[in-house]
Structures are given as C-alpha cells and as structure tokens.
Amino acid sequence: MLERIRIVLIGTSHPGNIGGTARAMHNMGLSDLALVAPRCEPLTADTVSRASGADHIVHGAHTVETLEQAVGDCTLAVGASARSRTLPWPMITPRALGEQLPAELASPAARVALVFGREDSGLTNAELQRCHAHVHIPTNPDFSSLNLAAAVQVVAYECRQAWLGQQVASGPAEMPAAEPLASHRELEHYFAHLERTLVAIGFHDPATPRQLMARLRRFTLRARPERMELNILRGILTATEQQAERHK
Amino acid sequence: MLERIRIVLIGTSHPGNIGGTARAMHNMGLSDLALVAPRCEPLTADTVSRASGADHIVHGAHTVETLEQAVGDCTLAVGASARSRTLPWPMITPRALGEQLPAELASPAARVALVFGREDSGLTNAELQRCHAHVHIPTNPDFSSLNLAAAVQVVAYECRQAWLGQQVASGPAEMPAAEPLASHRELEHYFAHLERTLVAIGFHDPATPRQLMARLRRFTLRARPERMELNILRGILTATEQQAERHK
C-alpha cells in the first residue's frame, strides 16, 4: 500500500526541505516523490545533510513542470491546505485521510497523491481545485504554518499508522514474548511474607493495621508483577528478615 | 492541558534542531521547553531560522545540567526510544500516549515530561530507566531514526489531537478525585533510599548490579505510586535500615 502513495512538492524553495521530506518519507516507508517546478536546485549539500541517508529518494524523484504531470496517473489527489478557501472544499484531517487510505488503495491500480505547496504561500486556488479533497493539519491558530518537511512528516506518519493498523487487522499479531506474570498464589505467598517481615522489623502491628497491608496490596497488584520481579522482592524480604533475626 | 506538557531535549548538537523543535511545539500549542546539557549554543542564526517565528520558545527555555533538574516536578516522564532495550520497559505508541494525556493531566498539579535524546545516540539506558514509559514512533525498520524536530513534531501532534478530542467531547469532565501521584523527584529519592537500604542489608552490591535496580525501577514506575504509598515504602526502608544499623 505505501509504495502507491506519492508525495508531490510544488515550487519548493529550500533544498533542505526536500532533504527533510525525503527523510520523513523514508522513515515512514514511503518512496515515491515528485517535484513540480522546484524553485531551487533539488540536490545540494543541504538536501543530502537533511536527508541524512534518504537522499536516494531525491535521486529517484521525478521532476516535472506541472501538477497535471505529477498526479496524472493517480486515482486520488489530496492537497495540503493551511486555511479555508473562498470556495469550501471537502476538508479532512490527516487521521481521517489515513483511515481512508486502505480502502482507497485496495485496488492494485489505485494510486494516491498527497500534494504540498510552497513554503511561503502554499498551494494556489487553481492547484487546490485540482485535488479531490484538502487535508488540514490541526494547528495552533496563532501559529499555523508548519515547516514543509514537518507537514509531510505528520501526514506520512498517519499513512504509516493506517498501514500498520491494516497489518494488525489482517495478520497474526506478533506480540513480544513477555515475562510470565506471577500467579495469584505466588502473590498471596508474597503478601504473607511481606506482612511477617513488616512485623519482624517493627513496622507493622496486626492489632492496629491502619489499612497498611491493603495499601501495599493495591500498589503491588496495580503493577501486575512478573514472577521474576516477585522473586526479587521475596529475596529482599528474606535478607531483611535475617537482619531482624540477628537481634533475637 | 497543553501548557503542562514539557518537551525535554537532552544533549542536542544542532541549534537548527532546537529551532525546529520550537516551531513544532508552537505549531501544536506547546510552550514549555527544557534543554539538558546542550552540546551546542542553543540560540544561533540557525535556531532562529528554523524556528521561523517561534524562537520565543527557545528564549523561554530552561537550560539545566541534568535530567533530574528538568523533570523533577513532573508526575509522568516518557522517554522517546528508537529501539527495544536489554531490559524491556512499558512501551507506548504516540497515539496511545496522546489518548492517555487528558486523564493524566486531569489534576491541575499534574505535569508531563516528554524526553528526547541526542541526535546520534538517543537516550542512555540510565536516562530511559528514569522514565515511567517509553514512546516509540512506528517507523520503517530499515530507516528508523527520525530527525529530532520531526520526532517532536509527531509526538506534539498527537498531544494536540488528544487535546482537540477532549474539547470536542466537551462537558465538565468529572474525574474521580485520585490521590496525588509522587513526583519524579520523590521517586528518585525513594530509589536512592531503596538502593542504600539494599546495600545495608547485604542484598545488593553496586559493583555487580545485575540489573537489580533497573528491575525494581521498572516494577515501581509501572505502578505509578501515589505520594502516600511512597511514604509508606520509605517508612519500611527506614525501619529496615534501623535493623541493619544495630549490627554495626
């Protein structure tokens, strides 16, 4: 699915942002980049520095003159927009966009373009009107303009989240093998040992319990102790008892 | 809620990344930045350029020497981690973290630190073990290292999403009145006391630590101790120390 999502940058001014976009894409498993009429040399030392190992994405990018050429084969084009326009357009959040992608890309022929505009002025109305929908990243209304590569990062992140969600839904979930949890019986042995020890060191008087054991139980159970952890705690109790024992 | 989320950057090398972080924070409505032992001059032309109008966040940042100083007053500290460590720690996704934040920050005294490591090597194991949980941004396994500001962007975006979701849900959120949680500083005092006590009773030899303290940290932090519970545990340690003391 991810290989059929294309990031399209229009009229980019700063090579560093192209490099940052390439890094964000590769981090999230995207690889298809198109540059429309860039206003800078796409491949500079800045590009390579910000790409930080993902500059092959820039090498493999298609540079074209018009948006049409960049998205012609796409079945869905979504334009990033910071502000609502004079003519309201279907507007979606990055999350809703991500959630829509698996269905959108179900057919092997389907292809999605995510279109990002100029650092200073975004996409023109004409460009936005060539998109099926507009994606708006929710931001602080007092400071709404994201860095270009940061905007790509957020949208690409939502693409990957949606793709991962699909993997989990369809494949056998591979959970990391956790340590075995302590059984109820082991926990009760621990609490009995704990209470004996607290009495031995003079911290606890069962005649005036003041909810002490209840509080310690609640704390311990909340952590869902593993068997190995309980063994450590019991080892500490034994060492503590030996100290108390020596006074008798 | 957002004003009680602190971004903590440890050992940052590139001023541009500090600027990019400030921009990402301001875009998402975060404002509290702490810099721990930066390995560069935080405020340079690069910072201001990448901050792109958000450099007041860097001017207002607290620069400190240690992680302790940066997160001492926080009730939850979450460290960004790219890889799983030798000792597995509670690991959450940025989305799950965001979803947890409204409840986490329901009490006005609550404060959350989101801790990000060095560009080249991330957070150390010691730093990660001072965090309640680790947040891992799902990435392409072949290219998993995000740019620092991009990582902050993704996590800050999820913070804002969660905050917006809460606004929509609206209504006076009636949270059950919980006991106040222990702060990071209180927890660290407890761990120091615990280690002294384990040495005193002969259970722990710092020369051959065998991950003992790491395991006890992980167990304790998982339970999210309340201040009152920590007071009980420290009382037990004091009583234990008195037993050990009498043999000297």
| CATH code, domain carrying A189 | 1.10.8.590
Question: How distant is the Cα of A164 from the closest Cα of chain B, in angstroms?
Answer: 9
Q: Would the pLDDT of B200 be above 60? A: yes
pLDDT value for A2: 96
Scan for tokens 């150390």, then name that residue: B124
Task: Examine residue B178 and state whether it is found in any structural domain, yes or no.
Answer: no
Task: Over range B8-34, report the average pLDDT.
Answer: 98
**Residues B188 and B162 placed together within one structural domain of the fold:** no
Q: What does the block give as tokens for A160?
A: 């990957």
Task: Examine residue A178 and state whether it is found in any structural domain, yes or no.
Answer: no
CB pairs under 8 A between A and B: 146
Q: Over chain B, what is the mean pLDDT?
A: 91
Could you tell me the CATH number of the domain that includes residue A92? 3.40.1280.10
Distance CA A143, CA A127 (A): 23
Q: Would the pLDDT of B60 be above 80? A: yes
Task: Examine residue B78 and state whether it is found in any structural domain, yes or no.
Answer: yes
B61-101 pLDDT, tens digit each: 999 999 999 999 999 999 999 766 667 788 899 999 999 99
User: Among all residues of chain A, which has the CA nearest to that of B91?
Assistant: A176
Question: How distant is the Cα of B27 from the closest Cα of chain A, in angstroms?
Answer: 5
**Residues A20 and A137 placed together within one structural domain of the fold:** yes
Task: Examine residue A109 and state whether it is found in any structural domain, yes or no.
Answer: yes
pLDDT value for A173: 34
Task: Examine residue B179 and state whether it is found in any structural domain, yes or no.
Answer: no
Strand-pairing partners, residue B114, are B7, B78
Distance CA A140, CA A134 (A): 18
Q: Which of A225, A242, A244 is nearest to A233 (CA)?
A: A225
Task: Examine residue B148 and state whether it is found in any structural domain, yes or no.
Answer: yes
Task: Examine residue A188 and state whether it is found in any structural domain, yes or no.
Answer: yes
In this complex, do B222 and A219 lie within 8 Å of one another by their Cβ atoms?
no
Q: Which range (A208-212, B195-199, B214-218) has the least confidence?
A: A208-212
The last residue of one of the domains, among A147, A170, A193, is A170
Closest partner CB to A222 (pick from B212, B223, B243): B223
The last residue of one of the domains, among A115, A148, A170, is A170
Distance CA A116, CA A118 (A): 7
Scan for tokens 């992140």, then name that residue: A157
**Residues A48 and A163 placed together within one structural domain of the fold:** yes
Interface with A, mutate which of B227, B232, B234, B248 (most A CBs under 10 A): B232
Number of domains present in the structure of chain B? 2
**Residues A110 and A20 placed together within one structural domain of the fold:** yes
**Residues B114 and B219 placed together within one structural domain of the fold:** no
**Which portions of chain A are predicted below pLDDT 50?**
170-177
**Residues A10 and A95 placed together within one structural domain of the fold:** yes
**Residues A208 and A123 placed together within one structural domain of the fold:** no
Question: How distant is the Cα of A54 from the closest Cα of chain B, in angstroms?
Answer: 8
Which residues fall within 8 angstroms of residue B25, CB to CB, at 6 or more apart? B7, B31, B33, B54, B57, B152, B156
**Residues B139 and B208 placed together within one structural domain of the fold:** no
Interface with B, mutate which of A23, A242, A243 (most B CBs under 10 A): A243
CA-based angle B111:B114:B115, to the nearest 5? 130
Structural domain for A49, as ranges? 2-170
Q: Which range (A223-232, B140-149, B175-184) has the least confidence?
A: B175-184
A179 phi-psi bin (left φ>0, alpha ψ -120 to 50, beta other): beta
**Residues A95 and A130 placed together within one structural domain of the fold:** yes
In this complex, do B198 and A242 lie within 8 Å of one another by their Cβ atoms?
no
Question: How distant is the Cα of B72 from the closest Cα of chain A, in angstroms?
Answer: 22
8 Å CB contact between B28 and B159: yes
pLDDT value for B171: 40
B26 — pLDDT class (breaks 50, 70, 90): very high
Distance CA B192, CA B204 (A): 13
**Residues A149 and A100 placed together within one structural domain of the fold:** yes
**Residues B159 and B207 placed together within one structural domain of the fold:** no
Task: Over range B190-217, report the average pLDDT.
Answer: 93
The last residue of one of the domains, among A141, A170, A199, is A170
pLDDT value for B86: 67
Q: Which of A172, A166, A84, A70 is nearest to A128 (CA)?
A: A84
First-to-final CA distance of chain B:
51
What ipTM goes with this model?
A: 0.79
Distance CA B139, CA A153 (A): 11
> What is the three-state SS of chain A?
CHHHEEEEEECCCCHHHHHHHHHHHHHCCCCEEEEECCCCCCCCHHHHHHHCCCHHHHHCCEEECCHHHHHCCCCEEEEECCCCCCCCCCEECHHHHHHHHHHHCCCCCCCEEEEECECCCECCHHHHCCCCEEECCCCCCCCCCCCHHHHHHHHHHHHHHHHHHHHHHHCCCCCCCCCCECCHHHHHHHHHHHHHHHHHCCCCCCCCCCCHHHHHHHHHHHCCCEHHHHHHHHHHHHHHHHHHHCCC
pLDDT value for B20: 98
B174 — pLDDT class (breaks 50, 70, 90): very low
**Residues B108 and B59 placed together within one structural domain of the fold:** yes
How far lies A220's CA from each of A68, A123, B134, B212, B230, in Å? Answer: 62, 56, 21, 17, 12
Task: Examine residue B52 and state whether it is found in any structural domain, yes or no.
Answer: yes
Closest partner CB to B138 (pick from A20, A160, A222): A160
